[in-house]
Amino acid sequence: MRKFGIAVHGGAGTILQDKMTREKEDIYTQALREALTVGYVIIEKGGNAVDAVEAAIRCLEDNPCFNAGRGAVFNHEGKHELDASIMDGKFLKAGAISCVKNIKNPITLAKEVMQHSEHVFLCAEGAEEFARWRGIAFAPDEYFFTTQRYEQWQHATANELMQLDHGGEKKFGTVGAVALDQQGNLAAATSTGGITNKRFGRVGDSPMIGAGTYANNRTCAVSCTGHGEYFIRAVVAYDVAALMEYKDMLLKEATDLVVNHKLVEFGAEGGLIAIDSFGNIEMPFNSKGMYRGYWKSAEEPVIAIYK
């Protein structure tokens, strides 16, 4: 049997063990395990990497714990503006959407753009119009309301902050998934609500192919989480793939160089998950923690939160 595997993240940031309750830890661990399982089962049965990453992300988007889909942060106007992207490493096809409102599962809309439009990136009302045309599910504002995010937003507006923070601690709750299927195909996907109190149509790295998401069967699949303004300029996801392709680096060397050296020197906090065409998985981060997990064929799933 050919090796396969999947990895997911639920965001990086100042996630400190001494600030965490056992109960919260269990909730996150369970959520990551569920997402991993949903994706793993698809690949185990011979399904493709694109479907696996989409399914894993949908699971995380439906969970109010994460800053994507249902649990997305509030923007300046008190709305939820959602960004997502997906890439198929076999054909180098990609789909992305940004600044959409009321889309229940943004990742599914991104996949729809990839598979059923002649474009790569749609935004705002245009993307919503495309979603209606393709019969993608919408959800009312109430669906996206969570008390915790509301309080964060209240705090941010009161203090005029545009924040990646989370009650004083930096935390990026974006979700991502990368997978290698039994046919040797790679895929990556990322979904986010962006940052609390964002305005002016701010878009981070998550929906940008090459910055927050990238997949190429020749090298690897990558999904990032961190301070988008830096990740965009560092073209993080593509940088990992390029180091492998042009410098013959191993996945471990490339991800370590980008996350623990280049991004640190640049002043960027965050991390990424990556899988290569051999099924190797790396999940480096330069923040205190990152919600993450992976499941390789013929092994047990692994979930971790702290360093």
Task: Please identify every residue annotated as catalytic.
Answer: 174
Q: How far is the CB of 244 from ligand ASP (least distance, A)?
A: 22
Task: Give the number of residues in contact with ligand ASP, rule: CB under 6 A.
Answer: 15
DSSP, collapsed to helix, strand or coil, labels residue 84 as strand
Binding-site string for ligand ASP from residue 212 to residue 251, where x marks contact by CB under 6 A and - marks none: -------------xx-x--x--------------------
Q: Does 173 bind ligand ASP (CB under 6 A)?
A: yes
Choice from 4, 28, 144, 172 touching ligand ASP (CB under 6 A): 172
Closest CB to ligand ASP among residues 130, 172: 172
Closest CB to ligand ASP among residues 69, 194: 194
Distances (CA, A) of 165 to 13, 156, 197: 9, 9, 11
φ/ψ of residue 293, rounded to 5 = -165, 155
Residue 29 identity: T
Closest CB to ligand ASP among residues 85, 217: 85
The token pair that represents 99 in the structure block: 């600044």
Choice from 5, 10, 11, 279 touching ligand ASP (CB under 6 A): 11
Residues with Cβ < 8 Å from 125, sequence gap 6 or more?
Answer: none
Q: Which of 81, 56, 293 has its CA nearest to residue 188?
A: 56
Choice from 5, 204, 279, 289 touching ligand ASP (CB under 6 A): 204
Binding-site string for ligand ASP from residue 248 to residue 287, where x marks contact by CB under 6 A and - marks none: ----------------------------------------
- Rounded CA separation 179/301 (Å): 14
Distances (CA, A) of 292 to 102, 206, 274, 284: 27, 16, 11, 10
* Residue 60 CB-density burial (10 A; 0-12 exposed, 13-18 middle, 19+ buried): buried
Closest CB to ligand ASP among residues 130, 230: 230
- Rounded CA separation 238/215 (Å): 8
Continuous H helices in the chain: 22-44, 49-61, 106-116, 124-134, 147-158, 228-234, 236-247, 251-256, 263-266
Residues 84-123 that bind ligand ASP (CB under 6 A): none
Q: Does 206 bind ligand ASP (CB under 6 A)?
A: yes
Closest CB to ligand ASP among residues 208, 215: 208
Choice from 98, 163, 174, 277 touching ligand ASP (CB under 6 A): 174
Stretch that binds ligand ASP, among 74-82, 166-174, 257-265, 297-305 (CB under 6 A): 166-174
Closest CB to ligand ASP among residues 48, 85: 85
Closest CB to ligand ASP among residues 215, 290: 290
Stretch that binds ligand ASP, among 16-24, 57-65, 144-152, 170-178 (CB under 6 A): 170-178
Q: How far is the CB of 58 from ligand ASP (least distance, A)?
A: 18
**DSSP of 96-145:** EEEEE-SBS-HHHHHHHHHHHSS-SEEEHHHHHHHHHHHT--B--GGGG-
Q: How far is the CB of 290 from ligand ASP (least distance, A)?
A: 10
Instruction: Summarize as ranges the residues that interact with ligand ASP (CB under 6 A).
Output: 11, 67, 172-174, 192, 194-195, 204-206, 225-226, 228, 231
